[in-house]
């Protein structure tokens, strides 16, 4: 495990609170004031659904524009692939066991240090609009306007600063962008801003905007190689998860009417709980106004009729469910990309491009049929990885593609670094400013650590696990009601189908990764793991 720049600073006896990292290592030119920061994050947006990542499913010109005018990170990862914990890591730069959100049942301690608080203290105007999902009110923000809980796609309610809740007519992705632009219009132009724009989409249950309902209607989307994965070497782990496309609710997820299917056969990731989801879907549909229902019915009535008439079974039914799921998911992504374009246009029109860092990412990755799944949680590549593109013309040259291992742990120190605000010792991430600058760091991390907790109390039955990933290998330990190890050679097996943990030819790799895992757990202070 290589030492990082912060380790080197500590060896010099210099605390990062006393002196900021850029003072020692950055050779950036003079700047009149710190940069603005526009941080755009969606929910459950997979790299596989972004064209600059090579997607065969969709074209995302505005996300691509950020990458083309800056940098695309090929290896960006989350510390815990689930909504609330990921957002808390983004804010604090710390792992779940330290910031307190191990799973979505936990409540964020709003008294702890976050990068918006530090930027606010340094003179930034800070704001957040959109999804928050941390159960306590935002702190460290001059302005905030957040969705109630998970939020609805149509006609959502927002909680405004001061605690007042108000419902708005419209589509969530458009409304969040409207409110972000309002916030930018109301800013003090003499101060730098940090604005977090957090979209609900494309989170389950994937309800597209009316204008995109007919997109992909005549398209047969390519099937993932592993859609019919048999989990042959991972039966007790991957094989036990309740997140197959076949398990989707026919009503809530696939938008079928009861008369089209008769009896709900989907578990929805909820097979251990007796939950009738049909009233939930009925309430969601009833939340549409008459104009929205008219457009919705015009689109989905035809789909319902075709489903009933074809009476599919077996693999053909799985393929139909995949197409239905993916088309709605991709339609939601179209709105995300379109609204990112609105924000980029705003920066163009107000001469803010050169002075503004723009980042687009997601709170984690997502399965788009790989391994037969939807959702996230596992340390396998599709949910461990998150898209990350970044633009800052004043420092970052165009068309960069980086393979270094970065994490959502790194957002907080990176933003503080650019703002030249000292990075507190308690932050566990590293600023990746130097990776995209002129002078590359003399070293960088060669492995990342992951820990997922939400079992057996959460959805989808994904067992607790932790692990280490390097540029080529991945070691995972599943624990709690099992004690199982998995090892993958990502070069030889990029789809992670073959667990080689017990194969003799990988004994040296296995031993090295066990040592690396132990070192990372000690580094990140995650040694008191409750195994039962």
Burial of residue 258 (number of CB atoms within 10 Å: 0-12, 13-18, 19+): middle
3-state helix, strand, coil in the chain (%, to 5): 35, 15, 50
pLDDT value of residue 12: 38
Reported confidence tier of residue 2, pLDDT bands at 50, 70, 90: low
Which strands form 473-478's sheet, in the order they lie side by side? 448-452, 465-469, 473-478, 484-489
pLDDT value of residue 192: 98
Q: Which helix (H) or strand (E) holds 516?
A: helix 507-523
**CA 479 centroid distance within chain:** 24
Name the pTM for this structure: 0.94
370-387 burial string, b = 16+ CB within 10 Å, else e?
A: bbbbbbbbbbbbbbbbbb
CA–CA gap between residue 468 and residue 211 (Å, rounded)? 43
Three-class DSSP category at 125: strand
pLDDT value of residue 14: 38
CA–CA gap between residue 392 and residue 513 (Å, rounded)? 36
Nearest to 250 by CA among 308, 292, 329: 308
Reported confidence tier of residue 252, pLDDT bands at 50, 70, 90: very high
Per-domain residue ranges of the chain: 228-327, 450-523
CA–CA gap between residue 487 and residue 470 (Å, rounded)? 12
Reported confidence tier of residue 530, pLDDT bands at 50, 70, 90: confident
Nearest to 320 by CA among 332, 334, 306: 306
Tokens of 60: 């995302």
Residue bearing tokens 């989170």: 203
Cis-peptide into 205, omega within 30 deg:
yes
Check if the beta carbon of residue 129 is closer than 8 Å to that of residue 176: yes
**CATH number belonging to the domain at 450-523, selected among 3.30.540.10, 3.90.1170.50, 3.30.1120.10, 3.30.1330.10:** 3.30.1120.10
> What is the percent of the chain where pLDDT is above 90?
87
Check if the beta carbon of residue 17 is closer than 8 Å to that of residue 424: yes
CA–CA gap between residue 146 and residue 128 (Å, rounded)? 7
319-347 burial string, b = 16+ CB within 10 Å, else e?
A: bbbbbbbbbbbbbbbbbbbbbbbebbebb
What are the residues whose beta carbons fall under 8 Å from the beta carbon of 30, sequence distance 6 or more?
none
Strands 448-452 and 143-147, bridge-based pairing: unpaired
Q: Which helix (H) or strand (E) holds 283?
A: helix 278-286
pLDDT single digits (tens) 285-309: 999 999 999 999 999 999 999 999 9
Q: How far is CA 81 from CA 226, 369, 375, 457, in A?
A: 21, 17, 10, 16
Tokens of 30: 């003079």
Tokens of 314: 């077996």
CA–CA gap between residue 401 and residue 89 (Å, rounded)? 24
CA–CA gap between residue 448 and residue 468 (Å, rounded)? 6
Q: Which helix (H) or strand (E) holds 38?
A: strand 36-42
Reported confidence tier of residue 440, pLDDT bands at 50, 70, 90: confident
pLDDT single digits (tens) 119-145: 999 999 999 999 999 999 999 999 999
CA–CA gap between residue 125 and residue 129 (Å, rounded)? 14
Averaged pLDDT, 16-20: 37
What are the residues whose beta carbons fall under 8 Å from the beta carbon of 183, sequence distance 6 or more?
127, 129, 143, 145, 195
> Hey, which residues does 449 pair with through a beta bridge?
468
pLDDT single digits (tens) 202-211: 999 999 999 9
pLDDT value of residue 302: 94
CA–CA gap between residue 463 and residue 407 (Å, rounded)? 22
> What is the percent of the chain where pLDDT is above 70?
93
Nearest to 326 by CA among 231, 229, 244, 222: 222
Helix axes 172-185, 314-349, angle to 10 degrees: 20
Reported confidence tier of residue 16, pLDDT bands at 50, 70, 90: very low
Nearest to 333 by CA among 50, 41, 38, 129: 50
6-15 burial string, b = 16+ CB within 10 Å, else e?
A: beebeeeeee
Residue bearing tokens 């405004």: 160
Residue bearing tokens 């004994």: 507
């Amino acid at each position: 495990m290589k030492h990082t720049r912060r380790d080197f600073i500590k060896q010099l006896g210099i605390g990062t609170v006393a002196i900021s990292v850029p003072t020692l290592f950055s050779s950036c030119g003079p700047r009149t004031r710190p940069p603005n920061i526009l941080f755009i994050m969606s929910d459950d947006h997979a790299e596989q659904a972004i064209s600059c990542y090579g997607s065969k499913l969709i074209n995302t010109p505005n996300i691509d524009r950020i990458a083309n005018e800056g940098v695309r990170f090929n290896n960006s990862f989350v510390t815990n692939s689930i909504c609330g914990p990921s957002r808390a890591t983004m804010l604090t730069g710390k792992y779940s066991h330290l910031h307190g959100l191990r799973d979505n049942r936990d409540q964020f301690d709003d008294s702890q240090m976050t990068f918006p608080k530090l930027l606010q203290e340094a003179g930034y105007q800070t704001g957040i609009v959109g999804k928050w999902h941390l159960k306590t009110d935002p702190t460290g923000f001059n302005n905030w306007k957040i969705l109630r809980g998970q939020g609805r796609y149509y006609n959502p309610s927002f909680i405004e600063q001061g605690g007042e809740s108000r419902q708005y007519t419209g589509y969530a992705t458009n409304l969040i962008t409207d409110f972000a632009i309002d916030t930018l219009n109301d800013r003090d132009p003499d101060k730098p801003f940090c604005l977090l724009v957090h979209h609900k989409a494309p989170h389950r249950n994937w309800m597209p905007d009316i204008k995109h309902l007919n997109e992909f209607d005549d398209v047969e989307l390519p099937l993932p190689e592993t859609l019919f994965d048999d989990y042959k070497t991972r039966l007790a782990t991957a094989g036990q998860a309740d997140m197959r496309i076949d398990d989707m609710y026919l009503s809530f997820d696939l938008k079928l009417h009861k008369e089209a299917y008769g009896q709900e056969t989907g578990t929805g990731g909820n097979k251990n709980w007796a939950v009738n989801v049909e009233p939930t879907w009925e309430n969601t549909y009833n939340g549409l106004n008459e104009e929205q229902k008219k457009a919705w019915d015009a689109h989905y009535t035809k789909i319902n009729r075709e489903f009933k008439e074809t009476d599919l079974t077996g693999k053909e039914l799985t393929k139909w469910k995949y197409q239905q799921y993916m088309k709605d998911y991709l339609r939601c992504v179209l709105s995300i990309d379109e609204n990112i374009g609105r924000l980029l246009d705003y920066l163009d029109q107000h001469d803010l491009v050169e002075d503004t860092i723009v980042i687009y990412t997601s709170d984690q990755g997502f399965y788009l049929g790989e391994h037969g799944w939807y959702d996230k949680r596992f340390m396998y590549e599709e949910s461990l990885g998150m898209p990350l593109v970044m633009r800052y013309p004043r420092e970052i040259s165009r068309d960069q593609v980086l393979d270094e291992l970065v994490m959502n742990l790194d957002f907080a120190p990176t933003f503080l670094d650019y703002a030249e605000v000292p990075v507190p010792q308690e932050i566990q991430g590293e600023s990746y400013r130097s990776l995209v600058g002129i002078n590359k760091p003399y070293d960088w991390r060669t492995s990342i650590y992951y820990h997922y907790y939400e079992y057996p109390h959460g959805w989808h039955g994904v067992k607790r696990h932790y692990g280490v990933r390097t540029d080529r290998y991945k070691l995972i330990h599943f624990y709690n009601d099992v004690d199982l190890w998995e090892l993958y050679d990502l070069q030889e097996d990029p789809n992670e189908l073959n667990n080689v943990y017990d194969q003799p030819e990988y004994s040296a790799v296995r031993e090295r990764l066990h040592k690396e895992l132990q070192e990372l757990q000690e580094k990140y202070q995650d040694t008191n793991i409750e195994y039962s």
